[in-house]
Amino acid sequence: MKTFVGAKIHGIRVTDKSVEYNGSVSVCQTLLAEAGMEAFERVDVVNLTTGARWTTYLLPDEECGRFSLNGGGARLGEIGDQCVLMTWNEEESFSGAQVIFCDESNRIRERMSYTNPMVLR
């Protein structure tokens, strides 16, 4: 099996952080649904502002546009930092991935899909 990107939310900005929380990242459930991501799914977080990268899991948040760093991950970013969230699929070949681009308010600015050109032949 190989590991391929499953879904991606690009340019999401940190709106909140809580070191006292037990861990994970909290993400607007609308963005999760649009990207095809699920609650408690493993996710890599890349902080584009600082270069930090870590693995955690997703928690849905009812507040529109919210993206919170929780637990130890809260020490890896500040409010306003721009990040990328990526999930992964283990499959024999890459079939595609949904990508969501966020604006400054964490609303969907653009959608696109990654596709495998070898599958299209």
Catalytic residues: 24, 57
Sheet holding 82-91, edge to edge: 16-18, 67-70, 25-28, 53-61, 42-47, 82-91, 2-13, 97-102, 108-114
Q: Cα-Cα-Cα-Cα dihedral of 24, 26, 31, 32, to 10°?
A: 40
Determine contact, residues 74/115, Cβ cutoff 8 Å: no
> Whose CA is closest to 33, among 60, 11, 14, 6?
60
d(CA 86, CA 100) in angstroms, rounded, equals 11
